Structure 1
């Protein structure tokens, strides 16, 4: 398992340091949580999407906390 903002391996249970925007949910993920690859990210006024070449797409609508 990989950190979506830094790409660091979090399998050891260590929580990597994150920027404030990521903690507040304002920053889209830049790395795939399954493989750690850098993703293609598109930011729009109404949200964002990020695509891993191996594991598909995630978007702001699918990760919103309700």
Structure 2
């Protein structure tokens, strides 16, 4: 079974098993939206509003701050 490559949503770099991934402090607090798609590493369109944010990948659709609350 093939494992899908994952990407850092804040840098767009490939995630490598066993290697620590840096997360900005604001992102850890839920204040910074992801800028890159975790599935393909492409730069996303991001919109920030007073009550949250949404980010859209041209291939994988939209995620928003409310959808991450359930993870």
Q: TM-score, normalised by structure 1?
A: 0.88
Out of 12, 15, 19, the position equivalent to 1:14 is 19
Q: Are the structure 2 counterparts of residues 36 and 49 from structure 1 closer, same or farther at C-alpha, using a change threshold of 3 Å? A: same
d(CA) in 2 for partners of 1:27 and 1:65?
17
Say whether 1:63 aligns with 2:45: no
| TM-score, length basis structure 2 | 0.82
Query: Which is greater in Rg?
Result: 2
Match of 1:44 in 2: 49
SS in 1 for 2:11: coil
- Runs (4+) off by over 4 Å: none
Instruction: Tell me the CA shift for residue 24 of structure 1.
Output: 1.3
Structure 2 unmatched runs, 5+: 1-5
Q: 1: distance between equivalents of 2:31 and 2:70?
A: 12
Count of residue correspondences: 66
CA RMSD of aligned residues (A): 1.5
